[in-house]
């Protein structure tokens, strides 16, 4: 896959994380970023600086302690077990030692431990000092409930989980270098798919989402239907009650295969799209689009089936200026 300019990858990530409003952060420069992973880390540190200026989220946490003074609630039963004159007390403390800040601290700690470029080390150290009162715990991969009081953490948390799971090397790998996400086809496929879905959601007035379909198969005797693989579209654009477009995002190094020195579309991709379209034949206007990033072969092909729907193979060049990418994506679904 040809290299995507850092600026374009940055925009793709903002769309993928549903933070395209943050394109106001265009004052960020990426000359000091040699990989897409560098850009993600820089964006994370930038978001953390914004949080530090606005103020770190605090909430009340229940603390249990032993004391000679009455504070909060006294547990009489537990107090009787303690050597006099101690009391077992429980009280609420307004603190930043909560799950949100623990995730951010763990990410900073991991960045310090691994091969972060030296130019960013002083900033990481300054930010880390803010978390002195926060416990160092693992960055648990669950979604925290955000409120109006801490919604400004959203992008930083999304980046923190992504950096810990996809960029920071695991100890067992024996490599201290950060993982370049652009070299991981599976990771880039997820970013590409989410970028496309959110792009169409933001830039059109159509209903945009995805859909799960059941196989038209029924188990015989006591066979288990759960053995059948999941069937879910990447993107569905419902233009009207009569018109739908199904897009399958295909982030592949090669959109075409060679057979007898002739380039062909990947048959498994066509079969998959055929299945999706077969479930939607009640739409008078129906299109299925296999959408690949350009990698030396420009595709702009459209085929009509005898069942009156279109099967298409298209490419978008992610190396072009961003306004051209936006125009191309809108042109594809016109």
Domain segments of the chain as ranges: 6-58+99-183, 59-95, 186-332
Overall residue count recorded for the chain in this entry: 334
Positive or negative CA dihedral for 241, 245, 246, 251? negative
Strands (E), 84-199: 87-95
CA distance 16 to 3: 18
Helix, strand, coil shares, percent, the chain, to 5? 40, 20, 40
Which of 185, 233, 240 lies closest to 209, judged by CA? 233
Under 8 Å between Cβ of 264 and 256? yes
Under 8 Å between Cβ of 58 and 96? yes
SS3 81: coil
In sequence order, which residues have a C-beta less than 8 Å from that of residue 82 and are 6 or more positions away?
Answer: 66, 88
Write out the H or E segment, with its range, that includes residue 77. helix 76-79
Write down the pTM of the prediction.
0.81
Between 3.40.50, 3.40.1350, 1.10.3470, 3.40.1000, what CATH number should domain 186-332 receive?
3.40.1350
Q: Which two tokens stand for residue 197?
A: 């879905």
In sequence order, which residues have a C-beta less than 8 Å from that of residue 72 and are 6 or more positions away?
Answer: 89, 90, 91, 92
**At residue 55, what are phi and psi to the nearest 5 degrees?**
120, 135
Q: Which two tokens stand for residue 93?
A: 């403390």
Q: Strand 87-95 relative to strand 73-74: parallel, antiparallel, unpaired?
A: antiparallel
The pLDDT value recorded for residue 114 is 75
**Beta-carbon-side half-sphere exposure of residue 307 (alpha carbons within 13 Å):** 14
**Biggest alpha carbon distance in the chain?**
89
The pLDDT value recorded for residue 171 is 60
Which of 63, 117, 123 lies closest to 93, judged by CA? 63
pLDDT tens for the 334 residues of the chain, in order: 567 888 899 899 889 988 876 555 556 788 888 888 888 899 999 999 999 999 999 988 776 655 555 554 545 455 455 556 565 556 577 889 988 999 999 999 999 887 677 788 899 999 999 999 999 987 665 566 788 899 899 999 999 999 988 888 766 555 556 778 888 888 899 999 999 999 999 999 999 999 999 887 887 877 777 788 888 999 999 999 999 999 999 998 776 776 666 778 888 899 999 999 999 999 999 999 999 999 888 899 999 988 889 999 999 999 999 999 999 999 999 9
Name the residue with tokens 């009340």: 60
């Amino acid at each position: 896959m040809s290299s995507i300019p850092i600026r374009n990858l940055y925009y793709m990530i903002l769309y993928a994380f549903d933070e395209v409003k943050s394109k106001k952060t265009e004052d960020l420069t990426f000359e000091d970023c040699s990989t897409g992973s560098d850009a993600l880390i820089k964006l994370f540190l930038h978001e953390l600086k914004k949080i530090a200026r606005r103020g770190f989220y605090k909430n009340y946490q229940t603390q249990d302690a032993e004391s000679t003074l009455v504070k909060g609630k006294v547990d009489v039963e537990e107090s009787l077990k303690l050597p006099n004159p101690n009391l077992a007390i429980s009280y609420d403390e307004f603190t930043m030692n909560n799950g949100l800040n623990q995730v951010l601290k763990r990410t900073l700690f991991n960045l310090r431990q691994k091969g972060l470029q030296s130019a960013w080390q002083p900033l990481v150290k300054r930010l880390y000092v803010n978390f002195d009162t926060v416990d160092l715990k693992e960055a648990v991969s669950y979604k925290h409930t955000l409120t109006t009081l801490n919604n400004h953490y959203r992008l930083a948390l999304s980046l923190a989980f992504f950096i810990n799971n996809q960029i920071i090397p695991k100890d067992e790998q024996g490599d201290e270098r950060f993982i370049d996400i652009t070299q991981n086809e599976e990771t880039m496929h997820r970013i590409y798919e989410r970028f496309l879905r959110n792009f169409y959601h933001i830039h059109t007035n159509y209903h945009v989402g995805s859909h799960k379909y059941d196989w038209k198969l029924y188990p015989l005797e006591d066979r288990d239907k759960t053995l059948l693989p999941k069937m879910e579209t990447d993107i569905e654009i419902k233009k009207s009650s009569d018109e739908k477009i199904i897009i399958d995002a295909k982030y592949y190094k090669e959109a075409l295969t060679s057979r007898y020195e002739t380039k062909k579309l990947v048959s498994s991709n066509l079969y998959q799209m055929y299945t999706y379209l077969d479930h939607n034949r009640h739409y008078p206007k129906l299109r299925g689009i296999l959408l690949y990033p350009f990698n030396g072969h420009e595709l702009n092909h459209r085929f009509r089936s005898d069942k009156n729907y279109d099967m298409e193979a298209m490419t978008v060049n992610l190396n072009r200026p961003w306004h051209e990418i936006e125009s191309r994506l809108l042109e594809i679904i016109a």
